[in-house]
A and B are shown apart, each in its own frame.
Chain A
Amino acid sequence: MLQIKPILAALKRHKAGTILIAMQIALTLAIVCNALFIIQQRVERLSRPTGMDENNVLAIQNRWVSVDGKDTGPLIKADVQALRQTPGVQDAFATNSFPLRGGGWSTGVNLVPKNEGKPAAQTTLYFVDDHALPVYGAQLIAGRNFTPDEVITADPKDIKSTPQVIVSKALADKLYPKGDALGKQLYLGGKDVPSSTIIGIVARLQVPWSGTWADDFNDNAMLLPVQLTSNYTIYLIRAKPGQLADVIKSAPATLLKTSRMRVISGDRAVRTYEQVRGDAYKNDRGMAILMGVICVILLAITAAGIVGLTSFWVGQRRKQIGVRRALGATKRDILSYFLTENLMIGVAGVVIGVGLAIGMNLWMVSQFEMARLSIAYVLVGVVALLLLGQAAVLAPAMRAAKVPPVEATRSV
């Protein structure tokens, strides 16, 4: 550390190189911090639990042809019966949507009947029957499941509320923060819409959307015991363990055998839950991978730049190094001289870099609805870059340490 003065003197003679390395470190820090932060945010999003047991689940999107929406009730019942009897199928039900599907219903919920103002909570609605909980594999933590006779058949445009509902714990806690939601009432509309009683609470159930706009009510879900008569029906199927691969083939075949008046086509018509999850978070995963690749290449390029410039300095100063060695400096002294020099440039670089990183994040927050950069990422980035600088400078510094004292006597 006693070498700081001579180092400063030497750096003054190499202003341009010093500034360039410091600048590169600063810019790299700014980009790497923000990229790491984006990666962390995306990974956090795509590892959010749905509340389901996602193994062995299959989703089929079915569209009726040549049938009026109102008349699909018996057809859907027949489908569900046939699916439940298909070998390899443990259970199945018909619904309007499911977690991570991409599209679904959302609505406001209140503790009193009202139409105006902000609702007490926002929630998604899943229209299901009494087989939904076992198919989800959702954990019922209070109350009970629907009974078969509570399930009504209705047109989507007529349905306003049902006497019984099951809600997710997140929604229950939002409406009744004291944790006494079971058995209480909630309202899905104004005075003309009858109230609903919470008969059960599930530990967790995610909404159908994976976009940031639904983050505020990500775990607010409500199950209503309704068999919707509609041209568009989704079947959610749980296969017996190990039999999913067979069910992927047999379930659509079963449906076509029951009736050919339907369309099950397109790349999203038959999906395992693994595919559903992959589709829902495709952008998030891709963004995380892209940022990871950029970080790695960027760090490699910065390291290479430091190696290049330091090698040049070592080459330029062979004579001075030889003089120092001749005057009694050890190899260690030379090594630590270059390491300290790099550390000083690195510190200057990261100080500027921290400012740039925060500035860049603030700008992105204003442009892209991103979250504020947490200081932990900046610290991780600072340590990583200082270590990277030291590692990059090691090889040229060791070469410098090997310069023999006799170099002092040579002219060029």
Chain B
Amino acid sequence: MSGMFVHNLRLGARSLRKNPVLTALMVMAIGFGVAASMITYAVFRAVSGDPIPQKSSQLFVPLIDNRGPQYNLEGEPPNALTYTDAVALMKAHRAKRQTVLYQVGLSVMPQQANRLPFKAVGYATLADFFPMFDVPFQYGGAWNPADDEARSAVVVIGRKLNQKLFGGANSVGREIVLDDQPYRIVGVTDDWDPKPRFFDMFSGNAYADPSEVYIPFHYAVEHGIDTYGNNNCGSDGKRGIGREGWLRGECVWISPWVELDSAADVAAYRQYLTSYAQDMRSAGRFDWAPNVRLRDVNDWLDYCHAVPPESRISLVIAMGFFAICLVNTIGLLLAKFMRRSSEIGVRRALGASRADIYRQFLAEASMVGVAGGVLGVLLTGIGMFGVGLVFQPQIARLAHLDLSLVALSLLVAVFATVVAAFYPTWRAAQVQPAWQLKSN
């Protein structure tokens, strides 16, 4: 049986060599088709993955409509909370873990006087942030909830910043100066940068550079550290005057997260959100029925259109492209196989069964598939350099040619070519032995 397979491969190779142009056309069609699909798929895979698979169904974004039906966007609450609502939700403490966060951009003052200050971007958040999102630590750990309440000047820094400031040494307990304020380092995170950055979709940071500092939320607000991310005041004009007015006003700029383990907990939390909005209505702040949302990570990413339209459009176009390449291959294989009708007739007359013909031609087709796949992998490799042309560098960086993509390219190429070869092979197997001999 295996001897027969090798024989078939040899027959195939000879036949492919006989029509080098036709063979090259087929290999190129498959190669280009596979490459186009794989490049766009690599980008799509990079941007549509689950950033925190182990917990994505336990982490939720609670949102409350503070705009009302007249101003909200198509009935949806804004994508973040006001300071008032964020503080109220944290105070109620109805979830197992909960945090709020907003982006901060702080200037880091190096200890050496001759070095210029530089900017470090990160988040003001609460102690639960770290266990909720499974943040890995290189040294130390998160600050305590008590530090949140005490407004302690503590900071968690990223591995890269630690490298820059302390040469990668354990810096826990040391002090750094951010925006003129001294902070005590309590932890250094390992490299951690979930993509898309689901917890800060509101500020458009889905694919932003890794964050480098984390400071306590209440401390940041009290020290007048403004958001470095988005601030959405809607169009109802209730902005308030000055910083205090803005803080107490209806502008949204804080992303909230809660961790809920069971369906019952989710239902209970949704109930709580509704009753909170109801309370606001009774208090005269809202004059509309409670309109709240509670989405888990994947629903939230869907809702925020985390996958950029460029990626989806090019994936669709590339799939169409691949389909055309396959139709093309079917046509060329048909031409190639039917040209050999007389050869098939002779083989059939000499006793070859239909199954033998099938095996011979499918073996030949799979050789085309393998060659096309190899070409496809090469073109995919080259194309990866071009990805930066189409997508933002932050997204392009995520797409890369790894072993699984190479394997997938080859598999798709061979599988698709063999599927494409079925019809031409079937036609070849229909050739009648007697008829061919007669016509000669």
Residues of A that sit less than 8 Å from B by CB: 16-17, 20-21, 23-24, 27-28, 30-31, 34-35, 38, 63, 65-66, 69, 107-108, 115-117, 119, 155, 157-158, 189-190, 193, 231, 256, 260-263, 265-266, 282-283, 285-287, 289-291, 294, 297-298, 301-302, 304-305, 308-309, 311-312, 315-316, 360, 364, 367-370, 411-412
With contacts A63-B119, A367-B312 taken as known, whether A35 is within 8 angstroms of B317 at the C-beta atoms is: yes
Do A38 and B25 have beta carbons less than 8 Å apart?
no
Q: A24 to nearest B CB, angstroms?
A: 5
Do B389 and A290 have beta carbons less than 8 Å apart?
yes
A-B contacts, 12 of them at CB < 8 A, read A16-B334, A24-B328, A27-B320, A27-B323, A65-B107, A116-B236, A263-B107, A289-B389, A289-B390, A304-B29, A315-B339, A411-B440
Q: Within 8 Å CB of B25, what residues of A?
A: 304-305, 308
Do B309 and A24 have beta carbons less than 8 Å apart?
no
Do B318 and A294 have beta carbons less than 8 Å apart?
yes
Do A263 and B180 have beta carbons less than 8 Å apart?
no
With contacts A28-B324, A66-B107, A294-B317 taken as known, whether A308 is within 8 angstroms of B390 at the C-beta atoms is: no
User: Is B404 on the interface with A (CB-CB < 8 A)?
Assistant: no
Q: Within 8 Å CB of B398, what residues of A?
A: none
Q: A68 to nearest B CB, angstroms?
A: 8
User: Is B20 on the interface with A (CB-CB < 8 A)?
Assistant: no
Do B423 and A16 have beta carbons less than 8 Å apart?
yes
Contact for A287 among B180, B313, B427, CB less than 8 A: B313
Do A301 and B390 have beta carbons less than 8 Å apart?
no
User: Is B262 on the interface with A (CB-CB < 8 A)?
Assistant: no
Q: Mark B297-312, 1 if CB is under 8 A from A, else 0.
A: 0000000000011101
Q: Within 8 Å CB of A369, what residues of B?
A: 309
Selected interface stretch from B5-13, B168-176, B237-245, B282-290: B237-245
Contacts A24-B328, A286-B310 aside, 16 further interface pairs with beta carbons under 8 A come to A21-B331, A155-B242, A157-B245, A193-B237, A231-B226, A262-B117, A263-B107, A283-B390, A286-B389, A291-B317, A301-B325, A312-B336, A312-B338, A316-B339, A368-B313, A412-B440
Q: Within 8 Å CB of A69, what residues of B?
A: 226
Do A157 and B317 have beta carbons less than 8 Å apart?
no
Q: Within 8 Å CB of B310, what residues of A?
A: 283, 286-287
Do A305 and B332 have beta carbons less than 8 Å apart?
yes
Bound form: Cα–Cα A116–B374 in Å: 62
Do A65 and B324 have beta carbons less than 8 Å apart?
no
Do B321 and A298 have beta carbons less than 8 Å apart?
yes
Do A301 and B313 have beta carbons less than 8 Å apart?
no
Residues of chain B from 200 to 222 with CB closer than 8 A to chain A in the complex? none
User: Is B155 on the interface with A (CB-CB < 8 A)?
Assistant: no
Q: Mark B12-28, 1 if CB is under 8 A from A, else 0.
A: 00000000001001001
Do B117 and A261 have beta carbons less than 8 Å apart?
yes
Q: How large is the interface on B (under 10, 10 to 19, 20 to 34, 35 or more residues)?
A: 35 or more
With contacts A16-B334, A158-B242, A263-B117 taken as known, whether A31 is within 8 angstroms of B313 at the C-beta atoms is: no
User: Is B116 on the interface with A (CB-CB < 8 A)?
Assistant: yes
Counted as pairs of residues, one from A and one from B, with CB atoms less than 8 Å apart, the total is 155
Q: Mark B185-209, 1 if CB is under 8 A from A, else 0.
A: 0000000000000000000000000
Bound form: Cα–Cα A262–B107 in Å: 8
Q: Within 8 Å CB of B331, what residues of A?
A: 17, 20-21, 24, 305, 308-309
Q: A262 to nearest B CB, angstroms?
A: 8
Q: Within 8 Å CB of A21, what residues of B?
A: 331
Do A66 and B180 have beta carbons less than 8 Å apart?
yes
Do B309 and A23 have beta carbons less than 8 Å apart?
no
Name the residue on A nearest B236 (C-beta): A115
Do B109 and A66 have beta carbons less than 8 Å apart?
yes
User: Is B32 on the interface with A (CB-CB < 8 A)?
Assistant: yes
Bound form: Cα–Cα A119–B70 in Å: 12
Q: Within 8 Å CB of A315, what residues of B?
A: 339
Contact for A17 among B32, B314, B317, B335, CB less than 8 A: B335
Q: Within 8 Å CB of A190, what residues of B?
A: 237
Do B389 and A20 have beta carbons less than 8 Å apart?
no
Bound form: Cα–Cα A38–B316 in Å: 13
With contacts A63-B119, A304-B25, A304-B29 taken as known, whether A286 is within 8 angstroms of B391 at the C-beta atoms is: yes
With contacts A16-B423, A289-B390, A305-B332 taken as known, whether A297 is within 8 angstroms of B32 at the C-beta atoms is: yes
User: Is B246 on the interface with A (CB-CB < 8 A)?
Assistant: yes
Name the residue on A nearest B35 (C-beta): A297
Bound form: Cα–Cα A281–B440 in Å: 65
Do B312 and A368 have beta carbons less than 8 Å apart?
yes
Q: Mark B35-56, 1 if CB is under 8 A from A, else 0.
A: 0100000000000000000000
Bound form: Cα–Cα A412–B342 in Å: 11
Bound form: Cα–Cα A193–B239 in Å: 12
Q: Within 8 Å CB of A30, what residues of B?
A: 320
Name the residue on B nearest A289 (C-beta): B389
Bound form: Cα–Cα A297–B386 in Å: 16
Q: A342 to nearest B CB, angstroms?
A: 14
User: Is B2 on the interface with A (CB-CB < 8 A)?
Assistant: no
Do A23 and B317 have beta carbons less than 8 Å apart?
no
Q: B17 to nearest A CB, angstroms?
A: 17
User: Is B179 on the interface with A (CB-CB < 8 A)?
Assistant: yes
User: Is B112 on the interface with A (CB-CB < 8 A)?
Assistant: no
Q: Within 8 Å CB of A63, what residues of B?
A: 105, 107, 119
User: Is B267 on the interface with A (CB-CB < 8 A)?
Assistant: no
Q: Within 8 Å CB of B109, what residues of A?
A: 65-66
Bound form: Cα–Cα A261–B119 in Å: 12
Q: Within 8 Å CB of A287, what residues of B?
A: 310, 313-314, 390
Do A108 and B328 have beta carbons less than 8 Å apart?
no
Contact for B330 among A20, A28, A289, CB less than 8 A: A20
Do B334 and A17 have beta carbons less than 8 Å apart?
yes
Do B116 and A294 have beta carbons less than 8 Å apart?
no
With contacts A115-B236, A290-B389 taken as known, whether A305 is within 8 angstroms of B328 at the C-beta atoms is: yes
Name the residue on A nearest B241 (C-beta): A158
Q: Within 8 Å CB of B116, what residues of A?
A: 256, 260, 263, 265
Bound form: Cα–Cα A370–B324 in Å: 23
Name the residue on A nearest B332 (C-beta): A308
Q: Within 8 Å CB of A261, what residues of B?
A: 117
Contact for A157 among B246, B342, B392, CB less than 8 A: B246
Q: A263 to nearest B CB, angstroms?
A: 5
Do B237 and A115 have beta carbons less than 8 Å apart?
yes
Q: A291 to nearest B CB, angstroms?
A: 7
Q: Within 8 Å CB of B119, what residues of A?
A: 63, 263, 265-266
Q: Within 8 Å CB of B386, what residues of A?
A: 290
Q: Within 8 Å CB of B313, what residues of A?
A: 38, 287, 364, 368, 370
With contacts A31-B320, A31-B321 taken as known, whether A290 is within 8 angstroms of B314 at the C-beta atoms is: yes
Q: B208 to nearest A CB, angstroms?
A: 12
Do A27 and B391 have beta carbons less than 8 Å apart?
no
Bound form: Cα–Cα A368–B390 in Å: 17
Q: Within 8 Å CB of B226, what residues of A?
A: 69, 231
Name the residue on B nearest A297 (C-beta): B32
Q: Within 8 Å CB of B320, what residues of A?
A: 27, 30-31, 360
Q: B201 to nearest A CB, angstroms?
A: 15
Name the residue on B nearest A106 (C-beta): B235
Contact for A66 among B28, B179, B318, B339, CB less than 8 A: B179
Do B427 and A311 have beta carbons less than 8 Å apart?
no
Q: Within 8 Å CB of B236, what residues of A?
A: 115-116
Q: B383 to nearest A CB, angstroms?
A: 9
Name the residue on B nearest A356 (C-beta): B320
Q: B211 to nearest A CB, angstroms?
A: 14
Do A108 and B235 have beta carbons less than 8 Å apart?
yes
